[in-house]
Chain A
């Protein structure tokens, strides 16, 4: 068929066949368009549209999809072979259906994309992000930096466009642009926040303005810090990937490694590839267009040499445009490959064909491995879990093939046969923990829908089954081995709930923590695993596409550093609830409830691999996150969840002098919970610069801090904590002294930093005072290790809040500068610096630490506020433990709650709220986050600056 398609518009096309993929069109989306007759032989049959309004937790974009039953006899994967480069050949098949976003913007003027005209440097540094001023393309590409920059290898050169093709263009009018910002939620506020900044254009870019840190008292801006916008021309900027998904520590890539070494800044990427997106173009097409040599997916930054050829932006190979790609399902026109959604959006998702499968897509399989020893019963988590599971059983992502299973363990392992047809769940006990076996070949993992009643019976019975247990031992290792055996035919997700140190069988651990060493300033030991058992188990699991998620609910030391290995290398996630108790610690219990709700219902991808590609000359150096690295640029992820973040260190291997732009592309191939193979592709484009000043101007301080934190975790495990701390301080000293040497003409009275890096010392100080890296303050080893695990696996936004919490004064909320979200007015109180000097006794302050909110109430706090918001007559009557704000019918209460809800909605795991009175003992918890203040063991911010300055002048 493919050969006969040489000509567009030929009338000899076969009638369109019915598509294998039927996409339901959901309400609110444009109705499916009728295929234009005779225009193109392979017609898009069903045009589904990703629904913009879908709640992010919802597993899938589609209500209906292919139900691939072929997986009834799944074969285990050979771990070596599951690669997205499964099939080299990508010939067009016979059937094709295209599902594309209706909201893909199509700029009217493509010429604007072509040139390399940099917008004015001055306005670009901190100016508002692209999507918002979409409608007006940069009228005149102003003052390019140099002639060299003009010569761009990228962009859409379209010299030979035939007039006939142009007429069909009919770009959706400007109205489509209005939809564009939806793709980047949160950018609305971003631009308004930055709008003010870009006004003050000085002779040099704002981000390069030298700041004397020792004299400038308030470096922290009043509004949240947003990602710097790469110095690209407006059209490329508009097309670029959202900084929420993809960020680089340097938004201007230095030309050579030598220049990078001179700048002394870390170069790397921060990724959040599987983020919940409100709008995502989903493309169903038989031909996924990729570069023939480097396998890059076609993206907005490729250049079309002429009608039928495109040049890869990563390896510069010239490729043919496949016939199918010439047809644009969006505009229903032929001959405009540059207007396809793949070329219009830097974040797209492809429905992959069978070329991308090594076995039929696996069903969603969930196994729960539960500790039921005496300790666990005492903590009482089981009731919370079972209740939560019962509530969310229908919301577990999956299709009709979804399977679920349960195992419990103490000194023996208990299996539950839930085969439909039984009247009661059957409990099977295996006491031979030295040689674990599965007591029955089937019935342990059952279909969720067929055995629903039995599962409900079991979940109702489980919390009471072991209440009188006297068994104190925990055979976690053997239970995990059994779980691995159970899961290995299919792969899936294992959720382990553990409440103590494993004490029996393989993988048993001893207590290694010396409580007297908790506040030691010298050496912190035992940050690495005690045994390789969990590492090896994770490797085996990863090979069988099984991820292990660990919930550690423990009041004593449980050697998280060893246990965490099972999740870290199998791409799982780790949750830790220190001193969990269902009645004595209600806030932890509430947190577990909320976390479980999110955990059980969030989107999940199975048998995933992620490949990161970058322009020739750059190379991946080290990866950070939870995964197994399978080759130099391929991460094997048994599961992928929307809350997982990754970091990559980069190095510049060859000089980038012959290019002015570099691109990074991550491709995440996964099986959705509905059994579809999908590929999510993000592409980021950044300019290359040749001068140190430009490198400094483009530095993204938050990304740099997150990357440094990841590197410091590695360093503290492989070397020592004090080494890692030194390295962090050196990072500041080196980068600021590198900057100092470039501005030597200025007076050297203080500590100079470019505006882009003005927060660098503050953030590093915050990092040094973070649980993971602090010394001198009493820190439990498990807490420390958990903080390190979080640093490794959290995406940037959440990590930043953990490192440097946001402090707001909330007793005088006004509508000034408020934003409107879903008809609600959300006040935006300014950020305060994290110092006790800001805490006036007359005020009330909210501290947002990511997973915890603290509301600090001053002693002389306005009694109106206490009455209107907290619902108590005066300060004295506020209880010591308060974790909720009452719903009062006052303006102040409404404002406070709407602000809190808005903050809560912005993160996946709902945080716990603590109301802290000025005198209560809990205030220490709050005060330890005030990083600018001096503690017995650590510098204040000013002292730290002086220390850095001293180091520089040495």
Chain B
């Protein structure tokens, strides 16, 4: 039983992953409110924008940490999402990420359902990875 760097990474990832889960839930609620007319897209997208960059940076932080800890399997699991985030970040309308969820097009039925699906998928991914990190953390603590 030793407190290795890998174990530390997993512990930190566990905490941050909880935050990401909350972000994902928040997104789901936000888009659901849009769909059911409770909110104006302008009001809705501004706070959503505020969360985009933190989410992306937290997730990148994970990946860097796992890279340093040489946890190749975990890194491999996270790389697709990392690339997706990069793509999303650089594929936004002209002025960068704050319009990743553009209030002008978000009400388009296709865009809205895409955003909702994205949020659900991320929630599932973060939940699974949460338990995976938990498992890995314990095994890292126990094994060595």
Contact = CB atoms under 8 A, between A and B. Distances in A.
Given A569-B104, A631-B34, A532 B94 contact: yes
B42 interface: yes
Nearest to B93: A532
A361 B103 CA distance: 27
Contacts of B93: 528-529, 532, 535
B35 interface: yes
Given A530-B94, A532-B99, A80 B43 contact: yes
Contacts of B107: 623, 629-632
B35 A630 contact: no
Contacts of B104: 535, 539, 569, 628-629
Listed from nearest, the 9 A-B pairs whose CB atoms lie closest are A629-B107, A532-B95, A80-B40, A631-B37, A621-B109, A532-B94, A622-B108, A531-B94, A80-B43
A722 interface: no
A5 interface: no
19 contacts: A79-B40, A79-B42, A79-B43, A80-B40, A80-B42, A528-B94, A529-B93, A531-B95, A532-B94, A539-B103, A569-B104, A623-B107, A629-B41, A629-B108, A631-B40, A631-B107, A632-B35, A632-B107, A632-B109
B88 interface: no
Interface string A529-550: 1111101000100010000000
Contacts of A194: none
Given A620-B109, A630-B107, A80 B95 contact: no
Interface in A592-640: 619-623, 628-632, 634
Nearest to A718: B105
Given A622-B109, A634-B37, 13 more contacts: A79-B40, A528-B93, A529-B93, A529-B94, A531-B94, A539-B104, A543-B42, A619-B109, A620-B109, A630-B107, A631-B40, A631-B107, A651-B109
Nearest to A633: B37
A85 B36 CA distance: 14
Interface string A772-802: 0000000000000000000000000000000
A630 B110 contact: no
Nearest to B40: A80
Contacts of A79: 40, 42-43
A532 B42 CA distance: 14
Contacts of A623: 107-108
Nearest to A542: B42
Main secondary structure of the interface of A (DSSP, over half): mixed
B52 to A, nearest CB: 15
A80 B37 contact: no
A318 to B, nearest CB: 24
A622 B103 CA distance: 14
Interface of A: 79-80, 528-533, 535, 539, 543, 569, 619-623, 628-632, 634, 651
B117 interface: no
Interface residues of B, number: 19
A621 B94 CA distance: 25
A630 B40 contact: yes
Contact of B42 (A528, A529, A539, A632): A539
B100 to A, nearest CB: 12
B125 to A, nearest CB: 26
B95 to A, nearest CB: 4
A515 to B, nearest CB: 23
B60 to A, nearest CB: 24
Contacts of A651: 109
Contacts of B42: 79-80, 539, 543
Nearest to B43: A80
A636 to B, nearest CB: 9
A777 to B, nearest CB: 28
Contacts of A634: 37
Contacts of B99: 532, 535
Nearest to B41: A630
Interface string B89-117: 00001110001001110011110000000
Nearest to B109: A621
Contacts of B110: 621-622
Nearest to B95: A532
A950 B99 CA distance: 43
Q: Quick one: which of A80, A619, A621, A651 has the most chain B CB within 10 A?
A: A80
Nearest to B106: A629
Nearest to B103: A539
Contacts of A629: 41, 104, 107-108
B101 to A, nearest CB: 13
Contacts of B94: 528-532
Interface string B29-58: 000001101011111000000000000000
Contact of A632 (B37, B40, B102, B103): B37
A186 to B, nearest CB: 34
A667 B99 CA distance: 31
A535 B104 CA distance: 8
A651 B107 CA distance: 15
Contacts of A620: 109
Contacts of A529: 93-94
Nearest to B44: A80
A528 B122 CA distance: 29
B96 to A, nearest CB: 8
Interface in B1-50: 34-35, 37, 39-43
Contacts of A621: 108-110
A672 B10 CA distance: 63
A628 B104 CA distance: 6
A829 B108 CA distance: 44
Nearest to B107: A629
A622 B110 CA distance: 8
Nearest to A622: B108
B36 to A, nearest CB: 8
Contacts of A533: 95
A713 to B, nearest CB: 13
Contacts of B109: 619-622, 632, 651
B47 to A, nearest CB: 13
A631 B94 CA distance: 24
Nearest to B37: A631
B39 to A, nearest CB: 7
A379 B62 CA distance: 59
A950 B31 CA distance: 44
B10 to A, nearest CB: 39
A531 B92 CA distance: 11
A634 B41 CA distance: 11
B45 to A, nearest CB: 10
A79 B94 CA distance: 25
Contacts of A630: 40-41, 107
Contacts of B37: 631-632, 634
Contacts of B34: 631
A11 B93 CA distance: 68
A202 to B, nearest CB: 40
A532 B99 CA distance: 9
Contacts of A632: 35, 37, 107, 109
A631 B106 CA distance: 10
Contacts of A532: 93-95, 99
A545 to B, nearest CB: 14
A458 B40 CA distance: 41
Contacts of A543: 42
A622 B109 CA distance: 6
Contacts of A539: 42, 103-104
Interface in B66-98: 93-95
A625 to B, nearest CB: 13
Nearest to A82: B40
B31 to A, nearest CB: 12
A621 B109 CA distance: 5
Contacts of B40: 79-80, 630-631
A842 B126 CA distance: 77
A269 B91 CA distance: 31
Contacts of A80: 39-40, 42-43
A569 B107 CA distance: 13
